[in-house]
């Protein structure tokens, strides 16, 4: 089974993707972590892209697609942060079948509140707002791209981690 988790930064998608991967033995593919870890470990391509990441911009489709392709397993992938554009979604469709799409829904004001409590250096307010804009303009429309397949589940993410996770487990179990 292959799952995509959508949600703006601060929606808890990374945490939920990690919990799902541990519970169901799935392969967690976090595009943000791959870029950040690559840059820290001295990967030249990731270091170049890190500048865009720090500026709150999306990295070019071609670059992120080639990086993510190296991480995709034959089955049981959980995508966290990818795809973020229609071009990325099309590319992913050429590689594997997506079985489940989870949308973590949370108001922008709550995201801003949560992100201000985080201490990451890319979490300044104008960057938070820029990322939210990218999410609403480019990534959120992807949910409509998947919806006709009947695989989209929208979850209220403005709740405690465990409550959200319990809902996700039920959805995954039902679709296994
Ligand atoms: P994340 O940790 O998923 O919030 O990603 C952090 C940053 O990495 C984003 O704000 C983008 O700059 C970059 N990034 C991660 N995934 C993608 C993607 N699929 N397409 C374009 N940029 C991405």
Q: Are the CB atoms for 11 and 111 separated by under 8 Å?
A: yes
Burial label, 109 (beta-carbon count in 10 A; 0-12, 13-18, 19+): exposed
Atom of ligand 1 nearest to the CA of 53: 12
From the CA of 53, how far away is ligand 1's center (Å)?
7
Q: Could you read off the pLDDT of 67-111 as tens digits, one per residue?
A: 999 999 999 999 999 999 999 999 999 999 999 999 999 999 999
Question: Is residue 103 within a helix (H) or strand (E), and if so which, with residue range?
Answer: strand 100-105
Atom of ligand 1 nearest to the CA of 81: 3
Q: Specify whether the backbone of 116 is left (phi greater than 0), alpha (psi in -120 to 50) or beta.
A: alpha
- pTM attached to this predicted model: 0.96
3-class DSSP state of 100: strand
From the CA of 84, how far away is ligand 1's center (Å)?
8
- Of all residues in the chain, the percent with pLDDT exceeding 70 is 97
88 lines ligand 1 (CB under 6 A): yes
Q: Could you read off the pLDDT of 117-142 as tens digits, one per residue?
A: 886 666 688 899 999 999 999 999 99
Q: Taking the alpha carbons of 57, 97, 77, 75 in that order, is the dihedral positive or negative?
A: negative
Q: What is the mean pLDDT of residues 31-38?
A: 97
At residue 122, the pLDDT reads 61
List the alpha helices (DSSP H) in the chain: 13-24, 31-40, 44-54, 61-69, 86-95, 108-117, 125-134, 141-146, 161-175
Which backbone phi and psi does 11 adopt, to 5 degrees?
Answer: -85, -10
- Structure token digits, residue 80: 């966290």
From the CA of 150, how far away is ligand 1's center (Å)?
26
Using CA positions, which residue lies closest to atom 19 of ligand 1?
82
Using CA positions, which residue lies closest to atom 15 of ligand 1?
32
At residue 125, the pLDDT reads 86
């Amino acid at each position: 089974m292959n799952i995509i988790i959508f949600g703006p930064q601060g929606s808890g998608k990374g945490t939920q993707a990690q919990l799902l991967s541990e519970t169901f033995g799935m392969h967690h593919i976090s595009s943000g972590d791959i870029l950040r870890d690559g840059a820290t470990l001295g990967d030249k391509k990731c270091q170049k892209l890190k500048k865009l990441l720090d500026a709150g911009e999306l990295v070019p489709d071609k670059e992120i697609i080639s990086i993510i392709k190296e991480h995709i397993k034959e089955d049981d992938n959980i995508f966290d942060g990818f795809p973020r554009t229609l071009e990325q979604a099309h590319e992913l469709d050429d590689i594997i079948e997506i079985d489940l799409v989870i949308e973590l829904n949370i108001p922008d004001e709550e995201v801003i509140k949560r992100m201000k409590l985080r201490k990451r250096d890319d979490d300044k307010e104008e960057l938070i707002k820029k990322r939210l804009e990218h999410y609403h303009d480019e990534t959120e429309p992807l949910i409509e791209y998947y919806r006709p397949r009947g695989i989209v589940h929208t979850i209220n993410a403005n709740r405690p981690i465990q409550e959200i996770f319990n809902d996700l487990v039920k959805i995954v179990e039902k679709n296994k």
